Structure 1
Amino acid sequence: MAGLLEGKVVLVTGAGQGVGRDIALQAGQAGAKVMVNDLGTSITGEGVDTALAEQVAQEIRAAGGEASSCAASVTDRVAVRTMIEQCQDELGGLNHLVNNAGILRDRMFHRMSDEEWDAVIDVHLNGARNIASAACDIFRQQNGGSMVHMTSTAGLCGNLGQANYSAAKLGIVGLSRSISIDMARSNVRSNCLAPFAFSRMTATVPAKGGAQNPDEEPYLEKIKKMASEKIPPLITALGSDGAAHITGQIFAVRGNEIFLMSQPRPLRSVHRAEGWTPETVLDHALPAMERDFYGPETSRDVFNWDPI
């Protein structure tokens, strides 16, 4: 791994704790100059601790690397532009962006408030767009760059009590895909990663049957063994020159497993030369397609085998 990102500048948002911290530390170990961004809020986006980002930057420097820190909010477009300028001024540019910042406001959909919806969409989806937009200005000028955006199987598959988070994370997939198409002429690549790891984020996810359901305990114990340090290797690899041809993809990491996730494509079609009526749709089209329908599954239902 040593030298894999030598000469590159990597910006990691939400890097003060958990998975983001591990990503930033490994980028430094791989030779990158690292901009560590974290506002230092609670898991719900409240409170501020501007020291968190600097603590991680200090760890990178203590290990012989080069790093700066920034406590800007990804939802503040002016602050985001300033952060990108800081990358240029203090670290000499920007080559690889990791959109990792996020919060949770878990609630069953019928009880979710407008504020809980807006806060999660703003940090995850709008935040990813804000950083990506600012980074693209540099990437276009230098004719190259890489982005990895954190999605989630909550968005790809669905999850209990996370409609706001799921919507934002699936939106990020569409954002990444569009960036990969729009920016291809500037040699900018954009990929998504859905991480499985126990963190303060996953610790809040509602359990099936309620948090005290004893049937959930074995599963939750396995989740706790999914270490966050399993996530960075793929992100480091995607930021390297060896992955310069990889863009527009969705990956997932669960323990020692790496998945390439499918993307929406036609499954089945039906045709009637005379066209359709509501009655023929019910009698013909829907029955013909029904065997390929997806049920109301959660991420856990889809990834239903033991990773450990």
Structure 2
Amino acid sequence: MRTPDDGGRERRWYEGHSTVSGILRGRVAIVTGAGRGLGREHALELARQGAAVVVNDLGTSGSGEGASAGPAEEVANAIRLAGGIAVANGADVADFAAAQTLVQQAIDTFGSLDILVNNAGFVRDRMLVNTTEAEWEAVLRVHLTGHFAPLRQAAAYWRAQAKAGRLRAARVINTSSGAGLQGSVGQGTYSTAKAGIAALTLVAAEELRPYGVTVNAIAPSARTRMTEGPFAQRMAPPAEGFDAMHPGNVSPVVAWLASVDAADVTGRLIEIEGGRICVEEGWRHGPAKDLGARWDAAAVGGTLRSLLAQATRPEPVYGARG
């Protein structure tokens, strides 16, 4: 079987760049929402580790309005000035056709695609009863569809490569959140989208396994435009010492998950805050009782309460009272 590094067009982008080194040398990455915050740090770190990076960002405001090529261009320029390899992209990742052009840009520019970091998103936080239909749809579109569309297009490329005998050591890193795992008061829409991303990660990991693709998700806790409002006090930088909320703390974990070395890790969700890495344990089958027949409604309560008493209690929702 021909390997992904068998010369030709796939290697040309870094030939002549003897300074390119690190755990991602020779690999090609797309990072969405890479103009600011976490995405910017991911793009810089992946480039620092040797990857050629397509820096994607639509350039919207923190709540998703407007568009600008400036943020993506600034990050791509910063990478090049540091001796790395990068191009900018302004595609709307929640648009299927635009997501296809994003994937194709990586292939046309660098000859391949090995890494997809899905990071793009914004928030429109409101309590449930105040959330409008437009706000609901906008947040689900950018987070959930904005993860699915690039993943679907990249997966089609990797499947075609595998069927042609060019199995790639491809990596997908999605971005979920503690809000999607434990819930967050005032963030019902955002929490729903991030929970969907966690479930999508599990399904994609299994479906893409035969093509050499691993799919994992992170739940980062860091200072970004999305956290500067409701969590501003907690996210504030310290006067001195280690800045646990700096978004750059998350990116080395992303870089390792994107590496060839991470081939045995898939379908997992990793929470990262400061210097702390935590493997999240999601929904699992717990205590059960099989009656072997249809239940009588009046008998359900006692049995279900008995099972709940044996089960692990869920962690409190972020922002819950008491």
Q: TM-score, normalising length from structure 1?
A: 0.89
Matched residue SS, 2:120: coil
Separation in 2, partners of 1:102, 1:294:
31
1:195/1:68 Cα in 2 relative to 1: closer, same or farther (>3 Å)? same
Question: Which aligned segments of 4 or more residues in structure 1 are displaced greater than 6 angstroms?
Answer: none
The percent identity for this pair of structures is 35
Does the alignment pair 1:184 with 2:203? no
Does the alignment pair 1:202 with 2:227? yes
Q: Unmatched 5+ residue regions in structure 2?
A: 1-19
Match of 2:30 in 1: 11
Higher alpha-carbon deviation: 186-195 or 140-149: 140-149
Match of 1:279 in 2: 298
Q: Give, in angstroms, the shift of residue 279 of structure 1.
A: 1.1
Match of 2:277 in 1: 258
RMSD of aligned Cα (Å): 2.0
Q: Give, in angstroms, the shift of residue 291 of structure 1.
A: 5.1
Of Structure 1 and Structure 2, which has the larger fraction of its residues in helix? 1
Separation in 1, partners of 2:76, 2:30:
11
Matched residue SS, 1:53: helix
Matched residue SS, 1:285: helix
Number of aligned positions between the proteins: 291
Match of 2:130 in 1: 111
Separation in 1, partners of 2:262, 2:244:
29
Separation in 2, partners of 1:156, 1:16:
26
Q: Give, in angstroms, the shift of residue 221 of structure 1.
A: 4.2
Q: Give, in angstroms, the shift of residue 222 of structure 1.
A: 7.3
1:258/1:299 Cα in 2 relative to 1: closer, same or farther (>3 Å)? farther
Residue type of the alignment partner of 1:288: L
Match of 2:167 in 1: 143
Matched residue SS, 1:146: strand
Residue type of the alignment partner of 1:268: P
Separation in 2, partners of 1:105, 1:36:
24
Does the alignment pair 1:88 with 2:113? no
Which residues of 2 match residues 1-308 of structure 1 at below 5 A? 2-140=21-159, 141=161, 142-144=166-168, 145-205=170-230, 217=233, 219=234, 221=236, 225-273=244-292, 275-290=294-309, 292=311, 294=313, 297-299=316-318
Separation in 1, partners of 2:70, 2:237:
32
Matched residue SS, 2:257: helix
Q: Give, in angstroms, the shift of residue 200 of structure 1.
A: 0.8
Structure 1 contact 198–225 (Cα < 8 Å) conserved:
no
Match of 2:10 in 1: none
Q: Unmatched 5+ residue regions in structure 1?
A: 212-216, 302-308
Q: Give, in angstroms, the shift of residue 44 of structure 1.
A: 0.7
Which deviations, in whole Å up to 9, do the C-alpha atoms of 1:39-88 show, x marking residues without a partner? 01001100111111011001111111110010111111111111111111
Separation in 2, partners of 1:2, 1:230:
20
Residue type of the alignment partner of 1:174: A
